[in-house]
Structure 1
Amino acid sequence: MSMTGEERRAWLKDHLKGTTPIAGHELSALLGVSRQVIVQDIALLRAEGYPIISTPRGYLFWEKPTGSIRTVVAVKHASSPEVVREELTTMVKSGVTVVNVIVAHPLYGELVGNLNLSTLDDVDRFMQNMQQMGASLLSELTDGVHLHTLEGAPDTIERAKWALAHKGFLLQASS
């Protein structure tokens, strides 16, 4: 499929509006271009204001669900895979989307890793990818202290906070 850049970006806009993310390597195969071309096209579309997000499963348009809110929670825990899985599972079982992870780095400032985890399958994929890549967690840079942006209905946000506090993950303000 031979397209100009403009035609390719129009195709991407049309095909990323579904509910299923499409991986970058799949897009490059479908369009007959390199993965880097897809990355550049996505960057150009984002710069034009299109709400395209990158999830562990691929790219898609992000539409904020009606009635959902976002909040940031501060957490701390060991950086073992078992504990990370428990933390992420606790949040998605509460009904929220774990949008990202944020750490405060002494040199670079705020570092953000996009997660967009909404289901137990998303958590499983994330954990498998982490293991296969031998990737380090951002929270390893900050002795386990990190933030998560959560998105969901107000009651699911409160349920997630309660569950995190109950398991000892949620950082509480000290008096």
Structure 2
Amino acid sequence: MNTEERRDQILKILNQSARPVTGTQLAEQMGVSRQVIVQDMAVLRAAGEEILASPQGYYLYHTAIENYRTVVAVRHTPEQTEDELIALVDVGVEIVDVIVEHEIYGELRGMLHIASREDVRQFIDQLKETGARLLSELTDGVHLHTLEARRPDQLEQAREVLRQRGYLIE
């Protein structure tokens, strides 16, 4: 399989997958290194493919017409992150991203796509294993999340659980 065929195959896999696909999974399926997949993703993005990366893997951006979205402003400590995420997924919302405002770079966004307790566990485990810091640590805990839900009442429930915990900035 040549480079172009491999990239076409990657797009096909991403199109057919309901969940994000890790670079390692793609590398194994394509018989190449993870670094080759990273390069392929860069080339595909530069060619206009809307490929997004999250802690769970790569996926294609598709606008879900049936879903509702909102952005919430929150503030909490790094130690409260797991509680925040679990509270949100427990009311049925997906945490699409995290956004912070940097004084030099402007808006910094990290794609999360956390929709279940298992996603939360994987995210927290990755933080611990890598020693990575949260984007919110750049802004003393202040950050935004884009939330997505199937019903608008779930978004209101999400605001309420954040309010009850003292995380919601209003």
TM-score (norm. length: structure 2): 0.91
SS at 2:83's partner residue? helix
Equivalences for residues 28-107 of structure 1 within 5 A:
28-80=27-79, 83-107=80-104
Unaligned residue ranges in structure 1 (runs of 5+): none
Does structure 1 residue 112 correspond to structure 2 residue 127?
no
Q: Against the structure 1 CA distance between its residues 109 and 25, is the aligned structure 2 distance closer, same or farther, given a 3 Å change threshold?
A: same
CA distance in 1, matches of 2:142, 2:44: 33
Distance in 2 of aligned mates of 1:84 and 1:107: 25
Residues 21-53 of structure 1 deviation map (CA, whole Å, 9 limit, x = unaligned): 221012112212222221222233333443332
Deviation string 1:107-151 (CA, Å, 9 cap, x unpaired) is 221111111100110000000000011111111111111111111
Query: Could you tell me which amino acid in structure 1 is paired with residue 86 of structure 2?
Result: T
Q: Alignment partner for residue 159 of structure 2, among 144, 158, 161?
A: 161
For 1:4, the equivalent position in structure 2 comes to 2
Q: Normalized against structure 1, the TM-score is what?
A: 0.88
Mean CA deviation greater in 150-159 or 162-171: 150-159
Q: What is the aligned partner in structure 2 of residue 141 from structure 1?
A: 138
Cα-Cα RMSD: 1.5
Number of residue pairs aligned between Structure 1 and Structure 2: 168
Secondary structure of residue in 1 paired with 2:78: coil
Structure 1 residues 131 and 12: alpha-carbon distance in aligned structure 2, compared to 1, 3 A threshold: same
Unaligned runs of 5+ in 2: none
Secondary structure in 1 matching 2:81 = helix
1: CA distance, partners of 2:159 / 2:46: 34
